[in-house]
Amino acid sequence: ALKYLLFWLKSVKLHAPTAPLILTGTFVADIREAEKLIRIDKILRGLVKSSFSQIIPNVDEDLVYFPIDNKEGLGIHKLRRVVEEKARDDNSVSEQVSIRWMALLDKIYSRRDRKQSYLTLCGDIRHIGLEVGIGSSVEQEAALA
């Protein structure tokens, strides 16, 4: 499980090196002893060491992750607060996006869902772009960036 987690952490770091990363541990209601939460924290700290500076720590509990439980609602409010804070700090959240760009993305998703296909080919993207009024390949690339 740790190899799998490390793979995904490295993948996020590669593709979004400046994006905030919030680790969560689920089913905290099943863990009765605080020592187990601390042991999990030590394992995670050893895994991430200083390689993942974008990880947002759980300052309130002095943990590198946020223990939560969906059934019991434990930890959800803290996690939501941190996610909202980080989203507000991100300038891209307030960036204006063309309605045509949103229409392009919506059409790509709806085609993918209908075909149940993972990939949409470049030729298909070009055609969809023309349908929504994005004729320039440069603008299409910008919309998908």
Q: How many other C-beta atoms can be found within 10 angstroms of the C-beta atom of residue 126?
A: 14
What's the predicted TM-score (pTM) here?
0.67
Considering just the CA atoms, what is the radius of gyration of the chain in Å?
Answer: 20
Average pLDDT value over all residues in the chain: 89
The residue ranking higher by pLDDT, 100 or 121, is 100
pLDDT at 116 over 60: no
Q: What pLDDT is attached to residue 39?
A: 95
Share of residues in the chain with pLDDT > 90 (%): 52
| Span 86-105, pLDDT tens digits | 998 888 777 888 899 999 98
Residue bearing tokens 């949409």: 120
pLDDT at 144 over 60: yes
DSSP H or E run through 67: strand 66-67
**Contacts (Cβ under 8 Å, ≥6 apart) of 18:** 54
Under the banding of pLDDT at 50, 70 and 90, the label for residue 118 is low
Distances, alpha carbon 73 to alpha carbons 3, 55, 61, 100, in Å: 29, 23, 17, 39
Q: What pLDDT is attached to residue 90?
A: 85
Mean pLDDT for 51-80 is: 93
Mean pLDDT for 54-69 is: 95
Burial class (CB in 10 A: 0-12, 13-18, 19+), 105: middle
CB distance 48 to 64 below 8 Å: yes
Mean pLDDT for 78-92 is: 91
Mean pLDDT for 130-137 is: 91
- Phi first, then psi, for residue 26 (nearest 5°) are -95, 170
